[in-house]
Amino acid sequence: TFFQWLAMQAGYKSRINYTDTEYFNLSEKEVRIATARRETPVPTMEQIRHVIETMPNNSDIERRNRSLIAFGILTGARDSAIASMKLKHVDIIGNSVFQDAREVKTKFSKTFTTFFFPVGDDIQKIVIDWVHYLREELLWGNDDPLFPKTNVITGDDRTFKASGFKKEHWSTASPIRTIFRDAFESSDLPYFNPHSFRKTLVTLGQKLCQTPEEFKSWSQNLGHEDVLTTLYSYGEVQQHRQGEIFQQLKAPRVSANINPNADDIAQAVIKALAGQAEANLGDVA
């Protein structure tokens, strides 16, 4: 549009032909290549569990970082929400997190409750122990951050070093992404960002959920109002899993015979309709 306008201006008309601007438009083939959806790497539950198990857990900061990774897969919360979350938002009795948009930076300022995803009692225990530690050992209150900022001091050698926590939230999610990067690379695994955990949870939900109602609940737990959002944005079948499914489709299916055969159901419906038709004719007679 700019060059079309420029071609009409004095001093440029003789240098730029209006039709030349058409060369800025991509062909349909180039548009399809540019907009093609490519497979995004997603961490497996085994990889995430390996990272959590290999993370050090001695200092306060190491405990925080380990709990942060565990909390990410336990709740599927976005990194911006995690950075702004307070202790009061975690209900360890109800196994849930209240993402209150008045205080938590949720997407589109939505307020909703997330129940802990079934990713393992050991992972849940890491988060619960962290909450207990903040409340009972450090005596922190409801309005204090769930994952506090690192307190940096100047050491005797005039270098900066970490020394416990500040009762402050991270102003951005960048420190969280740094913790994720360090944790994965220290475990000799490629880096997966916090958002990728949400895709891991969708993949897990596709395996565990047996009814539409169950998957709808799983979707709501991620903060999605429409289950199609979950399926379209996160529910892509990974290529290796796609191959496994097609191998399974080659094998003959074994019916459990728990439900009536489709032919039997069809015959029952036809019989019922025929019976009703006869009854209607009798009424007319």
Segments making up each domain of the chain, as ranges: 2-35, 45-197
Please state, in angstroms and rounded to a whole number, the distance separating the CA atoms of residues 76 and 114. Answer: 8
- How high is the pLDDT of residue 277? 57
- How high is the pLDDT of residue 259? 45
- How high is the pLDDT of residue 2? 81
Question: What are 171-207's pLDDT values in tens digits?
Answer: 999 999 999 999 999 999 999 999 999 999 999 998 9
Please state, in angstroms and rounded to a whole number, the distance separating the CA atoms of residues 249 and 203. Answer: 19
Selected residue with higher pLDDT from 174 and 21? 174
- How high is the pLDDT of residue 22? 73
Is 255's pLDDT higher than 80?
no
Strand segments (E) across 96-167: 96-99, 112-115, 149-154, 160-166
Q: Does domain 45-197 have CATH number 3.30.1330.40?
A: no
Specify burial of residue 163 (Cβ count, 10 A radius: 0-12, 13-18, 19+).
middle
Is 279's pLDDT higher than 70?
no
Q: Which residue has the tokens 């909390």?
A: 71
Selected residue with higher pLDDT from 179 and 276? 179
Backbone angles phi, psi at 98, to 5 degrees: -95, 110
- How high is the pLDDT of residue 282? 58
pLDDT-based confidence at residue 265 (cuts at 50, 70, 90): very low
Mean pLDDT over 15-38 rounds to 74
Average pLDDT, the chain: 85
The encoded tokens of residue 239 equal 């290529």
Question: What are 197-251's pLDDT values in tens digits?
Answer: 999 999 999 899 988 889 999 999 999 887 777 777 776 666 666 677 777 777 7
Question: What are 36-74's pLDDT values in tens digits?
Answer: 666 778 999 999 999 999 999 999 999 999 999 999 999
- How high is the pLDDT of residue 227? 78
Is 258's pLDDT higher than 70?
no
- How high is the pLDDT of residue 241? 66
Strand segments (E) across the chain: 90-91, 96-99, 112-115, 149-154, 160-166
- Percentage above 90 pLDDT, the chain: 55
pLDDT-based confidence at residue 267 (cuts at 50, 70, 90): low
Are 192 and 73 within 8 A, CB to CB?
no
pTM for the model: 0.74
Are 87 and 100 within 8 A, CB to CB?
no
Mean pLDDT over 24-28 rounds to 77
- How high is the pLDDT of residue 80? 97
CB-facing half-sphere around the CA of 190: CA atoms within 13 A: 7
pLDDT-based confidence at residue 274 (cuts at 50, 70, 90): low
pLDDT-based confidence at residue 262 (cuts at 50, 70, 90): very low
Backbone angles phi, psi at 36, to 5 degrees: -65, 135
